[in-house]
Chain A
Amino acid sequence: MTIPKLLTHPAAGFGSAALLLFAAAPLLLTDFRLGLLAKYLCIAIVAVGICLAWGRGGLLTLGQGLFFGLGGYAMAMHLKLADAGPGELPDFMVLYGATGELPWWWRPFESPLFALAATVLLPMAVAAVIGTLVFRRRVKGAYFAILSQALAAAFALWLIGRQATTGGTNGLTDIQGFFGYDLNDPVNQRTVYFVIAAALLAVAAGVRQLIHSRYGELLVAVRDSEERVRFLGYDPARVKLVAYVVAAGAAGLAGALFVPAVGIISPALIGIVPSIEFVIGAAVGGRASLVGAILGAIAVMWAKTTLSEEFPGAWTYFQGLLFVVALAFLPGGLASLVRKARERRSAAPDDAEDVPGAGADAAPAPVPASAKKPEGVTA
């Protein structure tokens, strides 16, 4: 292997990412900025799932807030109960008039194991139910996107309406401990950061494996021509379901890790607007490219923090512009620019290029001539 080849090798990418996340960032950043980075990494975990479901599977998941929220609340419920101590009610319940009894659906979250499992499995189970129903009925494209949005909005409304048991608009806040460790302690905050960074690498590695597997090729095939795949004897509903459920699990995990990193989970993170914001990072970086989606999510979050510190109004314009430019004029995201540049430099085919869909990446799926109508449902 030549040196340049080594540098572009995926393992080198993972290695340098690990180096950056575990060594460089903690050394260079203040505790506060590291905390912010932890938050960005959580969003990047959601973006990894979106990369799989949307970039590879063509499922525009505009309702990831739902799964992010399920994971976040599952984690926060346990932490609130742990803070309150055995037999005690969380502080907000006392304040907002619960009748002294812990609601039945809170009880299982007293167990740390149940809560931890629920952060990932609960969103996956919900996604499995939604996905089974929706994909079986061949609801797709924009219909699917609007339905996901409606569900996320409904979940946020439901949480808001049940203040005594969910904290209402406040959400669950003022979380003190994380499985016995005091979150006030900067050392523990750092640990939380490391956990999140490791989770991101693990999820990215897992999704990368999926993308490069036969399943990953099949998923791209379903994205580009679902009907054709069906005639090959596959059930596309099941192929899509897997991607959707995995993306939901990633979002749930991200939500769960967001709680100790930021110390709050609230309906404001679940509704329509945050759900769309989850997508923008992946869109800017390159929805079909794993690295693109991750870096895109981090960069957009970083831009939001920085720009909104200086010019709050400008951020909104900038965000709008990002959507327009990234999607209308650069559908492959920044990743497609990088790839083009690399291709121009070396005409020789690269080892890493045998990724399905790498060529045109997120360039729009070819649409049969008869499909000038919106993607929707078929008979």
Chain B
Amino acid sequence: MTELPGLRIRGLRVAFDGFTAVDGVDLDVQPGDLRFLIGPNGAGKTTLVDAVTGLVRATGSVEFGGRQLLGRPVHHIARAGIGRTFQTATVFEELTVLQNLDIAAGAGRGAGTLLRRRRSVPEPVTRALDTIGLAELAERPAGVLAHGQKQWLEIGMLLVQDVRLLLLDEPVAGMSQDERDATGALLRQIAEERTVVVIEHDMAFMRSFARSVSVLHAGRVLSEGTVADVQADPRVQEVYLGHAAAPAPEPREAP
């Protein structure tokens, strides 16, 4: 296996009409990490991911495997091996699960392949179907899937896309406990070969699966380290609970 690239962010800043959403973030995610980004609403978590994936304009520096990402179009960043999901699962509802995955696998296809019909299922797609457990539902339109299944499908799409870095925005929001556990296991499995960054509000989920955590507050990195480090940080406690000195933030349902 080749050396995994890591993510290196320096002085990242995003402003909308006078409001600064991300205000000078420095962040390093080592190759093979399973990093959780937490923080209260409006901390700039999603905007950070938006900036990394080219969706919003930002200043500063974002390097992945030594390559500068800022300023490049979204689809180039995607081809550089960075994939993401959204808070609300966005799969192609009218296409089948298989078609969703096939499209995700095909960014590099030439015109000749594109203009022909799909004759067989590409090998990575078969593998991904197994990994995300949707092999049975391959011919169903994605629109009829349950919420959790859609989230898995999204993750599956990132797998076949063969990204090196996965940026997941609240992947377990709205899932049952069983589904959460399954998702967590899936993320662990994925993180063995790739780098994963997860935005999450669910603290129990974070505690169970995070390898490292960064806490964002008001557009800045407040604290960073292992789960235990972060929980022990008084600044984090203050942000989450006001002045109370509770030992750890309470688990909190995502909206």
**CB within 8 Å of B: which residues of A?**
209-210, 212-215, 217-218, 220-221, 224-225, 227-236, 354, 356-357, 359-360, 366, 368-369, 379
List, sorted by A's number, 5 A–B pairs whose CB atoms are closer than 8 Å.
A217-B99, A218-B106, A221-B99, A360-B93, A360-B94
Chain B residues 50 to 85 lying within 8 A of chain A, measured CB to CB, are 53, 55-57, 73-75, 78-79, 83-84
Report if B148 contacts A (CB, 8 A). Answer: no
A356-B95, A366-B93, A379-B56 known; A213-B114 Cβ under 8 A = yes
- CB-CB under 8 A from A210, the residues of chain B are 115
- CB-CB under 8 A from A209, the residues of chain B are 115
CA distance A47 to B78 in the complex (A): 35
A230-B75, A234-B75, A360-B143 known; A212-B57 Cβ under 8 A = no
- CB-CB under 8 A from A230, the residues of chain B are 74-75, 78
Name the prevailing secondary structure of the B interface residues: loop
Report if B116 contacts A (CB, 8 A). Answer: yes
Q: Is the CB of B83 within 8 A of A231?
A: yes
Q: Is the CB of B143 within 8 A of A366?
A: yes
- CB-CB under 8 A from A215, the residues of chain B are 114-115
Report if B113 contacts A (CB, 8 A). Answer: yes
A-B contact count (CB 8 A): 100
**Among A214, A227, A359, residue most surrounded by chain B Cβ atoms (within 10 Å):** A214
- CB-CB under 8 A from B109, the residues of chain A are 214
Among candidates B94, B107, B113, residue contacting A356 with C-beta atoms closer than 8 Å = B94
Q: Is the CB of A224 within 8 A of B75?
A: no
- CB-CB under 8 A from B90, the residues of chain A are 225, 227-228, 368
- CB-CB under 8 A from A354, the residues of chain B are 96, 139
- CB-CB under 8 A from A225, the residues of chain B are 90, 92
Name the prevailing secondary structure of the A interface residues: helix
Q: Is the CB of B115 within 8 A of A232?
A: no
CA distance A212 to B100 in the complex (A): 15
Among candidates A214, A227, A360, A379, residue contacting B57 with C-beta atoms closer than 8 Å = A379
Minimum CB–CB distance for A13 against chain B, Å: 18
A213-B115, A217-B103, A218-B103 known; A233-B79 Cβ under 8 A = yes
Report, nearest first, the 7 A-B pairs whose CB atoms are least far apart: A233-B107, A233-B78, A233-B79, A215-B114, A230-B74, A221-B92, A357-B94
Minimum CB–CB distance for A48 against chain B, Å: 17
Minimum CB–CB distance for B207 against chain A, Å: 29
Q: Is the CB of B83 within 8 A of A214?
A: no
- CB-CB under 8 A from B86, the residues of chain A are 228
- CB-CB under 8 A from B102, the residues of chain A are 214, 217
CA distance A234 to B161 in the complex (A): 11
Among candidates B55, B74, B116, B143, residue contacting A359 with C-beta atoms closer than 8 Å = B143
CA distance A368 to B106 in the complex (A): 24
CA distance A232 to B56 in the complex (A): 17
CB closest chain-B residue, reference A224: B92
Q: Is the CB of B75 within 8 A of A233?
A: yes
- CB-CB under 8 A from A366, the residues of chain B are 93, 143
Among candidates B73, B95, B104, B161, residue contacting A357 with C-beta atoms closer than 8 Å = B95
Chain B residues 24 to 67 lying within 8 A of chain A, measured CB to CB, are 53, 55-57
Binary flags per residue of B121-163, CB closer than 8 Å to A gives 1, else 0: 0000000000000000001010100000000000001000100
Q: Is the CB of B116 within 8 A of A369?
A: no
**Among A225, A233, A359, residue most surrounded by chain B Cβ atoms (within 10 Å):** A233
CA distance A368 to B75 in the complex (A): 20
A210-B115, A212-B117, A233-B107 known; A217-B95 Cβ under 8 A = yes
- CB-CB under 8 A from B108, the residues of chain A are 233
Report if B118 contacts A (CB, 8 A). Answer: yes
A231-B53, A232-B161 known; A214-B117 Cβ under 8 A = yes
Excluding A209-B115, A354-B96, 17 further A-B contacts by CB distance (< 8 Å) are A213-B115, A213-B116, A213-B118, A214-B102, A214-B113, A214-B114, A214-B118, A217-B95, A224-B92, A224-B93, A224-B94, A228-B90, A231-B78, A231-B84, A360-B143, A368-B88, A369-B88
